[in-house]
Amino acid sequence: MSDSNRKPGQALDRLFASERETEDFRFDASVARVFPDMIRRSVPGYTTIIPMIEVITEQYARPGSHCYDLGCSLGASTLAMRHGIGDRDCILTGVDNSAAMIERCEHYIALDDHPLPVSLRCEDILDTFIEQTSVTTLNFTLQFVAPERRGELMKRIAEATLPGGALILSEKIRFESEAEQAIQTQLHHEFKRANGYSDLEISQKRSALEQVLIPETLAEHRQRLIIAGFDRVLVWYQCFNFVSMLAIKSP
Ligand code: GEK
């Protein structure tokens, strides 16, 4: 695999390339600047998941409902949802608590030519009012929310989800078996190496994320989603320790 997929003008992620003091990872301006390159080279399957969010949204978006992208970063999943909604009169909202992300996201939304308005909010998703939703996306966001707050958020989303509506939940996961955890983690690191990250970059980023990105097992996610009020939970995508789930409310 070569790293020749970077689009012209897309800034290269070198944030962890030289030796630095370990500090908790933050979604600040320096991260927002290189984010498209960072996420594509760090998250296996990201470039497949984004277009599939459009396909899934197309299937579940209901006219007159709300659709939310929680933790929207630069709006890649928001734009996929916008195109999936097509000409239905949905109210699409993107939320992120990083001002640097929201500022750049506005620019990407403006560059896209789809006519559906997108309302962007810079706030903590734990404070976001969620109502009458047919499609909600958390594409690699819940993993950054404190584990003890995840249940209440899933409950609020499930309660606000209309019959027949869906939640797209993508997460880095951990495995119950230590042996599997080791193999999948190794494969993820190989993926990053194949994408041009050095061992130093991989290990420094890993340390910076240690207290910030808390992965859970698939069983923990499933159980929380069912307790929250979803009727069915399925995995529609997995690559190594990265999965995307679909939680559905029965019609
Ligand atoms: C994509 N979905 O490109 N409230 C609001 N935003 C938050 C919170 C919170 N409590 N915690 C984290 N974020 C995007 C990618 S990135 C995933 C999502 C990654 C935001 C944070 O600021 C960041 O922009 C995003 O969630 C996570 O499809 O970097 O691995």
Give the span between the Cα atoms of 70 and 126, in whole angstroms.
10
Evaluated on CA atoms 51, 85, 73, 163, the torsion sign reads negative
Kindly give the distance from the C-alpha atom of residue 184 to the centroid of ligand 1, in angstroms, as a whole number: 23
pLDDT tens digit at each of 251 positions of the chain: 445 466 766 888 888 776 777 787 788 899 898 999 899 999 999 999 999 999 999 999 999 999 999 999 999 999 999 999 999 999 999 999 999 999 999 999 999 999 999 999 999 999 999 999 999 999 999 999 999 999 999 999 999 999 999 999 999 999 999 999 999 999 999 999 999 998 888 988 888 888 899 999 999 999 999 999 999 999 999 999 999 999 999 99
pLDDT at 8: 66
Beta-bridge mates of residue 239: 242
Evaluated on CA atoms 56, 127, 73, 112, the torsion sign reads positive
Give the span between the Cα atoms of 137 and 63, in whole angstroms.
17
92: number of Cβ within 10 Å: 24
pLDDT at 2: 45
| Residue owning the nearest CA to atom 3 of ligand 1 | 76
149: number of Cβ within 10 Å: 13
Both tokens assigned to 197? 């990250």
pLDDT at 27: 82
pLDDT at 5: 62
pLDDT at 92: 98
CA dihedral 127, 130, 135, 139 (to 10 degrees): 0
Ligand 1: which atom is nearest the Cα of residue 35?
29
Among residues 215, 203, 234, the alpha carbon closest in space to that of 56 is found at 234
Q: Where are the domains of the chain?
A: 36-70+80-94+108-114+126-235
Ligand 1: which atom is nearest the Cα of residue 213?
30
pLDDT at 214: 95
Ligand 1: which atom is nearest the Cα of residue 126?
10
Both tokens assigned to 144? 């950054």
Among residues 131, 111, 114, 110, the alpha carbon closest in space to that of 67 is found at 131
Residue type, 3: D
User: With respect to CATH, is domain 36-70+80-94+108-114+126-235 assigned 3.40.50.150?
Assistant: yes
